[in-house]
Chains A and B, each alone.
Chain A
Amino acid sequence: MVQLTRRNFLIATGWIAGGVTVLYKLGSRAKAVAPTIIFPDKEMASTWIQIRPDGGCLMYCPRMDMGQNANTGLAQIVAEELNISTNDIEAVQPSTSDVPPLAVTAGSMSLTAFSRPMAIAAASLRENMRERAASRLKLSIREVLDDQAGFRATDGRLVRYADLVNEAPVFVEIDEHSSLPDLYAFDTQRQKKQVGQPVKPLGTRDIVTGAPLYAADVPMEGVLFGRAVRPPVRNAEIAAVDTRGVTDVPGFLKLVQEDNFVGVVCKTPGSVNAAMSKIKVSWHLKQTINQDEIDRLVNVDDELERGDLEHTLHDEAHRPNADWAVDLRFDVQVQSHAAQEPRAAIARFNEEGNEEGTKHLLEIWTGTQDPWAMKRFAALHTGLDEEDIVIYPQRMGGGFGGREHYEVEQDAVRLTSAIGRPVKVQWTRKDEFMAARNRPASAHRLRLAADETGRLTDWWHAYVTGHVVLARERLPRWLLPVARLREDMGVVRGTNPAYETTHLRVEYKDVDLPVDLGVWRSLNAAPSLFAIESAMDELALQLGEDPVEYKISQMRGELTRLKVCLERVRDMAKRYPVPEGEGYGRGFACGIYEGRCFVAVSADVYVDRDKERITVKHMCCAQDVGMAVNPDQLSAQMESNMAWSVGMALLERLEVGDDDIQSSNFDNYPIVRMADMPSVETEVIDQPAVPPAGAGEVALIAGPAAIANAIRNATGYRPLSLPISFADIAYGQD
């Protein structure tokens, strides 16, 4: 953990020694580059918020923006505490030199972990301002009441924050001994002005006017353009390189060939494309890459037969020979993030002078979920001290769990080192697919049994999937075998049954797959819930019960929040009758994410036998993630998750060829388009007394199963494998 003295901490955050850029010294060099795990506290948060001399509020955004708009929610909480409008906050994305390390932006943790420390920090600042006001007005603190961006005295005098701040910005230093101020954002009795309002996300105007926002947009004097050849998988090694003709390309400047790296620097982006087309690389692969190999490795029935499922999550009075009413295998294929922005980075070496002489700084502009890990990676890679490296994080054009690693940045650093001028590297769409750390394929065997009254009695969920958090390239090689003895938190996510059962076994095996793997929106929760919610739907149908009512009746008693979600969605869907006629159907599914987020989804589909097409027409989604800080943005995330649900259910599958990734663009890795997108109705269930949890990947856990269940309802065919294609649907004899 990074140790900073109090003074260095404050210097580092720029709050004292104003105007001087000071780089802080890290305690020790990180040995291995793991994600930055730091839990924010109120002491830290207090340095992110200040009142400027003009009375405005400046906030350092502690989260990396990629569309989830977590900083907007945090700004609303700060604004609530300070009695200002969220739109009056100037929100700044800090560089790695501006603040001490921030935790990696991942796992829908932003509001859960950051909202309370930031509320305390902002409220402490407000109370500090109140003391100043009282002193100026010569009143007691109790006679100074809240007002917009300031205070109103009981005698009617007004004082604004601007009146209370002199030439230097004000922030408060708080520590564990500081008294805890009243928190307006968490006061359930209070009529709130910012929290709970549909505040427009920060930066929206910049987006619709085309302002520079992403890494490749950063203006850079004298920048050159470069790119490197991407391997089909991370651990591939270059076997042979043919660069004939590359030096003849107009605009070509430099070929860089070093340890397992081939790249070029050119004068223009087009000359980079031309030069790269001349370079032929053959790779030495450490394993066979093809779909058959993935299918062989991810085969739950083989593993069950061998008794080789090494991790047991639940084992309670398990009866392997129960009278299984449902015994089905579900498969999910490898999926890619396919974010809208192919990664880009700009790197340069810059001289910075001060009284002690000049020094060289390595500066990197990039969109990343973890700027501080990026800095540690760059230090390990270049041998520079971490204090000589600055990461300027930029907005990301979609992250979805895929942007934690030092890759396009490494390309830019190698190329700028070789040419001595700033270099921009813009990956192509194919590079982006080649570099994706995909969601692993998975196979699930679900067995359910019920007694003669229809009560669920036995639950046996066995599954095989690739590693997620413990994927090959995420940890040092020596640590992998040890780490993998433990549970992979990505692989186990979403496997706790929401239903009451006496006999229970949940077990899994995680395996190395021949494609790169990692964290994909909702991790293993969506594949597991696809299997679980399909199997429960099937059990209800076997028993002659309505699936929704059956699930409600079998749900664990304490899960009232989940039950409410499912009931709400049932009622929302009722308003839209399912059309008469062949091919129309409706399905439901529900689930719990990370133990604290609850969601239910309905899907209406039309399976058109003439056009041989499955269309999702309408979806309803009810979700409870605790306090609804910004209901409209929660809805936006639910809509986004419905789009991904359609993609996961019907479209997305990484095409793996012989020793290559075949998916290279949106023409061979289709994602949801406008015409695929159903109308969506959302309902946010607010729990003002429950701290807010993240919503970025919650609803995706229920959407695919709802669509699969709707297809079952429409056609009688039980979808067993995602993505579902029309050709899969067996229509019986006709």
Chain B
Amino acid sequence: MKLKVNGVEYEIDPDWHDENLLDVLRDYLGLTGTRFSCGIGNCGACMVQIDGLSINSCLASLSMAAGKEILTIEGMAADDGTLHPLQQAWIDEAVPQCGYCQSGQLMRALSLLKENADPDDADIDQAMNGNLCRCGSYPRIRRSIKKAAIVLREAR
């Protein structure tokens, strides 16, 4: 079985074929930026994108993900290391506290901005409501998404 993550194709050992996508990413491929937190798709910490849709990878089987384009936090910046405007906004607004949920937050925000180039607070609250942050960085996430949305709109 093959898995394509951040543009790179990996052959997966048969011992790992019954694992969920999250565990394969973290413990087989060593892409540990995607994180385990609830295991039931309730918190969004393990969110990645599969063919552009944000998915809780703790609930995704390997067979479901095989053959598709998977994007993780490690693939969010440009190849030359330039950060995505969302990542930059996250730094500029000093969003993270403990930081554990933020990969998932960024993955969800990325798909939100693909669907809606100019989200307001209500749009953000609705889109991001599946991504928990125990530290309560929510006000800064709201600000950062709006800030990145402006950067992305201006770049167009």
Contact across chains for A210 and B19 when beta carbons are under 8 A apart: no
Q: Specify which chain A residues have a CB less than 8 angstroms from the CB of B142 in the assembled complex.
A: 674
* CB-based contact A208/B136 at 8 Å: no
* Known interface pairs A216-B36, A674-B138; A210-B31 also in contact (CB < 8 Å): yes
Residues of A within 8 A of B141 (CB): 674
The residues in B between 121 and 138 inclusive whose CB is less than 8 angstroms from any CB of A are 124-126, 128-129, 131-138
B20 contacts which chain A residues (CB < 8 A)? 270
Would you call B126 and A675 a contact (CB within 8 A)?
Answer: yes
Output the least CB separation between A424 and chain B (Å): 8
9 smallest CB-CB distances across A and B, nearest first, come from A210-B33, A643-B136, A397-B100, A67-B98, A210-B73, A67-B97, A207-B99, A217-B32, A677-B138
Q: Given A216-B36, A673-B129, A674-B124, output 9 extra A-B contacts at Cβ < 8 Å.
A: A208-B87, A209-B73, A223-B27, A269-B23, A429-B39, A636-B137, A665-B39, A674-B138, A675-B129
> Which residues on A sit within 8 Å (CB–CB) of B101?
340, 397
Q: Is the CB of B96 within 8 A of A201?
A: yes
Given known pairs A69-B97, A207-B96, A397-B98, the reply for A643 and B74 (CB within 8 Å) is no
Can you list 20 contacts pairing A with B, beta carbon distance less than 8 Å? A67-B99, A203-B99, A205-B91, A209-B77, A209-B87, A210-B72, A214-B100, A216-B26, A225-B27, A269-B19, A340-B43, A340-B100, A342-B37, A395-B99, A396-B98, A400-B134, A639-B140, A666-B38, A672-B138, A674-B131
In the bound complex, how far is the Cα of B133 from the Cα of A677, in angstroms?
11
Minimum CB–CB distance from B24 to chain A (whole Å) comes to: 9
Scoring A198, A203, A267, A429 by chain B CB atoms within 10 A of each residue's CB, the highest score goes to A429
Contact, CB under 8 Å: A632 / B94 = yes
Task: Contact check, B35 vs A214: say whether CB atoms are below 8 A apart.
Answer: yes
A211 within 8 A of B: yes
Distance of A606 from chain B, by nearest CB (Å): 15
Q: Residue among A69, A424, A666 with the most chain B CB within 10 A?
A: A666
Is B39 in contact with A679, judged by CB distance below 8 angstroms? no
Q: Which residues of B contact A400 (CB under 8 A)?
A: 134
Knowing A640-B136, A642-B136, A679-B139 are in contact, say whether A633-B94 is a contact too (CB < 8 A): yes
* A213 touches B (CB below 8 Å): yes
Q: How many whole Å from B146's CB to the nearest CB in chain A?
A: 13
Q: Is the CB of B139 within 8 A of A677?
A: yes
Task: Tell whether A194 is near chain B: CB-to-CB under 8 Å.
Answer: no
Q: Identify the closest chain A residue to B43 (Cβ).
A: A666
A369 surroundings in chain B (CB, below 8 A):
none
Q: Is B80 an interface residue (CB 8 A)?
A: no
A341 / chain B contacts, CB cutoff of 8 Å:
35, 37, 98, 100
Indicate with 1 or 0, residue by residue over A191-222, a CB within 8 angstroms of chain B CB atoms.
Answer: 00000001011011101111111101101000
Prevailing SS type, chain B contact patch: loop
Residues in chain A near residue B98, CB distance under 8 A: 66-67, 339-341, 395-399
Q: Which residues of A contact B95 (CB under 8 A)?
A: 208
Cα distance A189–B20 when bound, in Å?
A: 59
Question: What distance in Å separates the Cβ of A338 from its nearest Cβ neighbour in chain B?
Answer: 6
Interface residue? A68 (CB, 8 A): yes
Interface centre among B38, B77, B95, B137 (most CB of A within 10 A): B38
Choose from A268, A397, A672, A677 the contact partner of B15 (Cβ within 8 Å).
Answer: A268
Q: Which residue of A lies closest to B91 (CB)?
A: A204
Q: Which of A290-347 contact B (CB under 8 A)?
A: 338-342
CB closest residue in chain B, given A219: B30
Quick check: A666 and B135 within 8 Å, CB to CB? Answer: no
Q: A219-B30, A340-B132 are in contact. Are A665 and B94 (CB under 8 A)?
A: no
Interface residues on A, range: 35 or more
Give the residue of B37, B83, B136 whose beta carbon is less than 8 angstroms from that of A644.
B136
Question: Counting CB contacts under 8 A, is B10 at the interface?
Answer: no
**Within 8 Å CB of B18, what residues of A?**
250, 270
CB distance from B82 to the nearest CB of A (A): 11
Contact with B along A21-49 (1 / 0, CB 8 A): 00000000000000000000000000000
Partner of B102 from A208, A396, A680 at Cβ < 8 Å: A208
Give the Cβ gap from B75 to chain A, nearest Cβ, in Å. Answer: 9
| A428 interfacial contact with B, CB 8 Å | yes
Bound state CA distance, A642 and B135, in angstroms?
10
Q: Which residues of B contact A667 (CB under 8 A)?
A: 40, 42
Chain A residues near B26 (CB, 8 Å)?
Answer: 216-217, 269
Return A348 CB to nearest CB of chain B, in Å. 16
Is A713 close to B, CB under 8 A? no
Q: In the complex, how many residues of chain B place their beta carbon closer than 8 angstroms to a beta carbon of chain A? A: 60
Chain A residues lying within 8 Å of B103, measured Cβ to Cβ, are 210
Report B2 CB to chain A, min CB distance, Å.
Answer: 18
**Chain B residues numbered 71-94 whose CB sits less than 8 Å from any CB in chain A:** 72-74, 76-77, 83, 87, 90-91, 94
Cβ–Cβ contact B137 & A640, under 8 A = yes
597-646 of chain A: CB within 8 A of chain B: 632-633, 636, 639-644
Interchain CB contact under 8 A, B38 and A665: yes
Contacts of B138 in A (CB 8 A): 643, 672, 674, 677
Q: Which residues of A contact B55 (CB under 8 A)?
A: none
Within the complex, the shortest CB–CB distance from B81 to chain A, in Å, comes to 9
Smallest CB separation, A438 vs chain B (Å)? 15
Within the complex, which residue of A340, A429, A673 is in contact with B40, where a contact is CB–CB below 8 Å? A429
**Best-buried of B34, B95, B100, B136 by chain A (most CB within 10 Å):** B136
- Residues in A whose Cβ lies below 8 Å from that of B83: 205, 208-209
State how many angstroms separate the Cβ of B70 from the closest Cβ of chain A: 13
Interface status of B45 (Cβ within 8 A of chain A): yes
Residue in contact with B100 in the complex, picked from A398, A671, A673, A680, CB distance below 8 Å = A398
A342 touches B36 (CB 8 A): yes
Residue numbers in B under 8 Å from A426 (CB-CB): 36
Which single member of B32, B40, B99 contacts A397 (CB below 8 Å)?
B99
Kindly state the separation between the CA atoms of A639 and B138 in the bound complex, as whole angstroms: 9
Are B76 and A268 in contact (CB-based, < 8 A)?
A: no
Which residues of the partner chain B approach A66 to less than 8 Å between Cβ atoms?
98
Residues of chain B with a CB closer than 8 A to A342's CB = 36-37
A68 to B126, CA, bound (A): 28
A251 near B: Cβ within 8 Å? yes
Which B residues lie within 8 Å of A429 (CB)?
Answer: 37-40
Contact A674 B129 (CB under 8 A): yes
**Which of A208, A210, A426 has most B Cβ within 10 Å?**
A208
Report how far A268 CA is from B12 CA in the complex, Å. Answer: 13
B121's nearest neighbour on chain A, judged by CB, is A679
Specify which of A208, A223, A642 is in contact with B96 (CB 8 Å cutoff): A208
What A residues does B140 contact at CB under 8 A? 636, 639
On whether the beta carbons of A211 and B33 are closer than 8 Å, the reply is yes
- If A208-B91, A210-B73 touch, whether A270 touches B23 (CB-CB below 8 Å) is yes
Contacts of A205 in B (CB 8 A): 83, 91
Q: A200-B91, A269-B23 are in contact. Are A339 and B126 (CB under 8 A)?
A: no
- Provide the residues of chain B in CB contact with A340, threshold 8 Å: 37, 43, 45, 98, 100-101, 132-135
